[in-house]
Structure 1
Amino acid sequence: MSARTRVSAPAAARRSSAVPPGGTRTLRLGSKLSIRYRRRSLFLSVLLAVAVLLVGAFTLTAGKLGLSWTELLALAVSPPEGSGAFVLERLRGPRFLTAVGAGMALGVAGSLFQTVTRNPLGSPEVVGLTSGAAAGAAATALWPGYVPVPVAAILGGGLAVALVWLGTGRGFARPGKMIVAGIGISAVASALTSLAMTTLGEQQAQTLAFYLNGSLASRSWSHVATIGIAVAVVLPAAAALQRRLDLVALGDELAESLGVRVDRTRTVAVLLAVVLAATAVSVCGPVAFVALVAPQIALRLLGTSSPGVVAPALVGALVLTLSDFTVQQIDVGPALPVGIFTAGLGSLYLGWLLWTEARKGLF
């Protein structure tokens, strides 16, 4: 190889992370601030956002209680009155917005975990975070009034991940051991949740069981505010961390040679994922598989080696809002929890993913 064509590994990694396939564009905001983007990523993000808005429109207008399309279009001028106000402000508006926020949070949390573990099966469910957050939320039913549900969920999820960190022996540096330890912690957390259900009264146990299946029924504006604050605070931090995570995904030694503090980057990413996933669990329960499938769908749509933050967030929002809209239209007597529906879809996707990875010789 001639000197003219020889490229060092760090330089190649820097070039591959700086110029993704398809090229980049730079949007300059003043003299000091600029934003780099790919045209395909921008187009995809706009398309996904429009799809989420369309799902929202159908959610608000479907069924006998839904708004008319005239009332929906009139929202740009003035809010509806009477039954229309009830549907928008109490029945379906908070439910849809909670689904959007929770879907975004789960999508980004899954993306962070899959990047950290370098495994397409990495997700909050696999590493025990979701089960830990659910156990923390369930504990509030035993001792009501002491700790708010979102705080208890974050504490439970954080404790589960901390135990996984200790159980691997080297923190988060060994993704394989991290997943194995997560499965064990998840089993313990599920057992504690079941124990909590056995000590509750019949009505409380039924309410808790409905929540543990993942439900968006009877959401309020307090749920919207809770998940909205988490998304508004954590997503920009995740976006700022993304470039370093892309380098970590290339390998620890290579990332360190480029000046990335790998252990610190990995730990911060996991902490951000804990907050996002645990907050989502606190407002809608442990909705299954959204965090697993959203980053993988985003990867395939983008055609890049990293899904980033925006695409998984929008895919997660679309998956959860579309799933919730579907369960609202299914007449099965009692309201079907959206977590059962996503678990059915996710199990099919997981089977396909395991089959494709096995064909590649990764298992």
Structure 2
Amino acid sequence: MKTTRTLRAPGGLSVRFDLRAFTVVVLLLAAALAASVVLIGTGDFPIPAGDVVRTLLGKGDPGQEFIVTELRLPRVLVGLLVGASLGLGGALFQSVSRNPLGSPDVLGLGQGATAGALVMIVLFSGSAAQVALGALAGGLVTGLAIYLLAWKRGVHGYRLVLVGIGVSAVVTAVNGYLLTKADIVDAARAVFWMTGSLNGRDWEQVLPLLVLCAVLVPLVLCNARGLRMMEMGDDVSYALGVRAERVRLLLMVSAVLLTAGATAAAGPVGFVALTAPQLARRLTRSPGPNLVASMVMGATLLVVADWASQRLFGADQLPVGVVTGVLGGVYLLWLLVTERRAGRI
């Protein structure tokens, strides 16, 4: 069944429209919003979904308004923004590397951001804001190191993944060393941060991440055509007028910033960046990077995982990073078996 349409406008302008991909994005967006409403109503003081919607529209009673807008809404917004950032960052890395394993989890960007946060916690006993800045700086430094080490007349697929795996191993060892140097209080704080959690998130985490996404998402989408051309190879890209290396660098910097910003806001939430683009591609059945679908899929996965951690484990709820790590690890094993059977690894 043909799902791609060509829309023509006056002046000869035409736009390809993929009906299936559009439908998938709309359904995922609806699922993310529905899960967000349910998540806002979940907790020690349950609130029905209808009351949550009325409160968000400014028609709730004072008690519900305080719980919804001050306590739970910021947490859900952080979850949506972190999931969207990780989904988009993962799609960019997988498209640039032309490898389903080319995600920030495998390349070591999460570990790099963790190293920056641990430096602030262990060596400086930094505040929450300083830890977030340290995570952002650690992610940027790690991304720069991977890019420079993988550079050889350009940055290409498997070399980027292999260098990222090596850098990840080194940074993981550094993180272990930092933990051994910490006192018991800082070590406990560091381990809790490293699990990845949305607990205690408020408007201070929402606003910086919202600004980051507002700047980077339009920038990435404006270069989506160049990214699609690059998937056919640099020679074809140059022939079609795309400056491949410049576009690649711009998109990699954007992906690093998105990943580091998400890690700074919620800690290292594992495997969302790996699974969201792959699930989006399988649902849309569309070639290309599927940037919007990956972004919405990431947001949906994270809020659903956070809801599951609260509903399934009650008072002993797991941090959302543990839930996504378990699910993502199972998915990674399945992906490796599938790729091996297909002869690609």
**Structure 1 residue 203 corresponds to structure 2 residue 154:** no
Any idea what SS the aligned residue of 1:306 has? Answer: coil
Tell me which residue corresponds to 1:7.
none
5 Å matches for 1:335-346?
335-346=317-328
Distance 1:136 1:27, change over 3 A: farther
Q: How many residues align?
A: 342
Tell me which residue corresponds to 1:127.
107
Distance 1:340 1:147, change over 3 A: closer
| Residue of 82, 85, 97 corresponding to 1:105 | 85
Tell me which residue corresponds to 1:24.
5
| Residue of 226, 238, 245 corresponding to 1:256 | 238
Mean Cα deviation higher: 135-144 or 339-348? 135-144
| Residue of 116, 119, 136 corresponding to 1:154 | 136
Any idea what SS the aligned residue of 2:223 has? Answer: helix
| Residue of 327, 333, 336 corresponding to 1:351 | 333
Task: Choose 1 or 2 for highest CA Rg.
Answer: 1
Do the aligned residues in 1 keep the contact of 2:117 with 2:135 (CA within 8 Å)? Answer: yes
| Residue of 195, 205, 212 corresponding to 1:223 | 205
Any idea what SS the aligned residue of 1:348 has? Answer: helix
Matched to 2:168, the amino acid is S
5 Å matches for 1:282-293?
282-293=264-275
5 Å matches for 1:321-332?
321-331=303-313
TM-score, normalised with respect to structure 2: 0.91
Q: CA deviation at 1:82?
A: 4.4
Distance 2:154 2:257 in 1: 17
5 Å matches for 1:177-196?
177-196=159-178
Matched to 1:357, the amino acid is E
Distance 2:314 2:128 in 1: 37
TM-score, normalised with respect to structure 1: 0.87
Distance 1:358 1:330, change over 3 A: same
Tell me which residue corresponds to 2:96.
116
**Structure 1 residue 318 corresponds to structure 2 residue 300:** yes
Distance 1:146 1:312 in 2: 29
Tell me which residue corresponds to 2:118.
138
| Residue of 67, 72, 78 corresponding to 1:92 | 72
Distance 1:131 1:254, change over 3 A: same
Distance 1:146 1:226 in 2: 13
Residues 314-339 of structure 1: CA deviation (Å, up to 9, x unaligned): 00000011001100113375441111
Distance 1:58 1:272, change over 3 A: same
Distance 2:107 2:81 in 1: 22
Distance 1:174 1:275 in 2: 20
Q: CA deviation at 1:147?
A: 7.6
Matched to 1:105, the amino acid is S
Distance 1:82 1:111 in 2: 42
**Structure with higher helix content:** 2
Aligned Cα RMSD in Å? Answer: 2.4
Residues 198-228 of structure 1: CA deviation (Å, up to 9, x unaligned): 3333222212211111111110111111221
Among all aligned residue pairs of Structure 1 and Structure 2, give the percentage whose two residues are the same amino acid. Answer: 34
